[in-house]
Amino acid sequence: MIEIIDLYKTFNKVHVLNGLNLHVRAGETKVVIGRSGAGKSVLLKSIVGIIQPEGGCIRIGGVDVTKASAAEVNRARRHIGLVFQNGALFDSFDVGENVGFVLDEFTALTEAEKRARVAHTLSLVGLSGIEDMMPSQLSGGMRKRISLARVLCMQPEIILYDEPTSEVDPVTADAIQKLIIGVRDRLKVTSIVVTHDMNTAYKVADSIAMFYHGQVIADGTPDEIRSSRHPVVRQFINGEAEGPITDDESLKFGHVK
Ligand SMILES: Nc1ncnc2c1ncn2[C@@H]1O[C@H](COP(=O)(O)OP(=O)(O)O)[C@@H](O)[C@H]1O
Ligand SMILES: [Mg+2]
């Protein structure tokens, strides 16, 4: 469904994506983990066309969107939704408008059909009937669900989630994890979930890929990743720093002052 082949992207002479390969099967939820700055968001933005990679290809349903004609690219990308990390809601629009405005741009639905689609989509994320609320009245978790509703309302085949559970409390994180699983099971979408939260990764993943220095250094089932012997993977999933952050010798050797 999604094939990333030998992808390169450089910012300020740094190879953020350095020959990256990643395959996502139809209907699968692939979780991408890696430290801050590893290039996870750059990958998602490259897939939706916000960022242009310098080399390699991105095949969506067989179409290489880095080389196809504009019309083909639009057709392929019409079926992809990106749920942004910060929600990207418009504060002066109410919830109904925030969810439904994409329908104005990309569909020819009537006003009544649009209202019905928005209402249905809000019910999918467990927020029926809040069309008239303003973003300022919503909790962080609700904002994240509204931004997912905006994507769902386009009925995409592929959903890309950027840090869906960052900055929310554990109960809200659990609700969002269940939504991601529910969307996969009920709507049969193919997803990439970017996160640095291993709890989310283990819960929602069919498979997990770890980014490091612009490449995928491990890719496997949650159990395979959990039992990986790769030192960088072990360090990441166990939440260990790469070295002491102090020059104080007494601390380096674990003495208590
Ligand atoms: N538009 C941009 N211009 C310059 N540098 C960028 C841009 N987008 C991302 N970067 C750099 O690319 C690196 C990877 O960023 P990003 O993909 O956002 O990391 P993360 O894995 O945390 O999502 C970072 O060092 C970031 O500063
Ligand atoms: Mg990011």
From 93, 120, 155, the end of a domain falls on: 155
Q: Please tell me the total count of domains within the chain.
A: 2
Ligand 2: centre distance to CA 160 (Å)? 12
Q: CA–CA separation, 145 vs 150, rounded Å?
A: 9
CATH of the domain at 69: 3.40.50.300
Give nearest CA residue, ligand 1 atom 9: 42
170 within domain boundaries: no
> Per DSSP, what are the bridge partners of residue 193?
31, 161
**Residue 136 is part of which domain span?**
84-155
Instruction: Flag whether 175 is in a domain.
Output: no
| Residues recorded for the chain | 257
C-alpha to C-alpha distances, 60 to 47, 51, 151, 195, nearest whole angstrom = 9, 16, 18, 22
* 211 Cα nearest atom in ligand 1: 21
Is residue 187 domain-shared with residue 74, that is, in the same domain?
yes
Question: Which residues contact ligand 1 via a Cβ below 6 A?
Answer: 11, 16, 34, 36-42
Task: Tell me: do 19 and 134 sit in the same domain.
Answer: no
Q: Is residue 171 part of a domain?
A: no
Atom 7 in ligand 1: residue holding the nearest Cα: 11
Q: Which pLDDT value is given to residue 9?
A: 97
50 falls in which pLDDT band (50, 70, 90)? confident
Do residues 25 and 40 share a domain? yes
Nearest residue (by CA) to ligand 1, atom 18, is 41
Q: What is the reported pLDDT for 240?
A: 78
Over residues 173-179, mean pLDDT: 93
Among the candidates 139, 155, 171, a domain finishes at 155
- 110 and 225 belong to one structural domain: no
Asked if residue 126 is part of any domain, the answer here is yes
Same domain? For 186 and 75 the reply is yes
Two structure tokens written together for 68 = 């196809």
In a domain, 50, yes or no: yes
Q: In angstroms, rounded to a whole number, what is the distance separating the alpha carbons of residues 228 and 237? A: 10
102 with 131, same domain: the answer is: yes
> How large is the average pLDDT for residues 5-10?
97
In testing the pocket of ligand 1, which one of 9, 42, 236 has its CB within 8 Å of the most ligand atoms? 42
Least confident window among 21-25, 61-65, 208-212: 61-65
> Can you give the pLDDT at residue 91?
92
Q: Please tell me whether residues 98 and 73 are part of one structural domain.
A: no
Nearest protein Cα to ligand 1, atom 4: 11
Say if residue 245's pLDDT is above 80.
no
Would you place residue 72 in the very low, low, confident or very high pLDDT band (cuts 50, 70, 90)?
confident
Residue 32 is assigned to a structural domain of this protein:
yes
CA distance 221 to 103: 36
Say which residues have a Cβ less than 8 Å from residue 127's Cβ, sequence separation at least 6: 95, 142, 145, 146, 149
Mutate to test the pocket of ligand 1, among 4, 13, 22, 41 (most ligand atoms within 8 A of CB): 41
Per-residue confidence (pLDDT) for residue 54, from 0 to 100: 94
Could you tell me if 60 and 1 lie in one domain? yes
Residue 220 and residue 205: Cα distance in Å, rounded?
Answer: 10
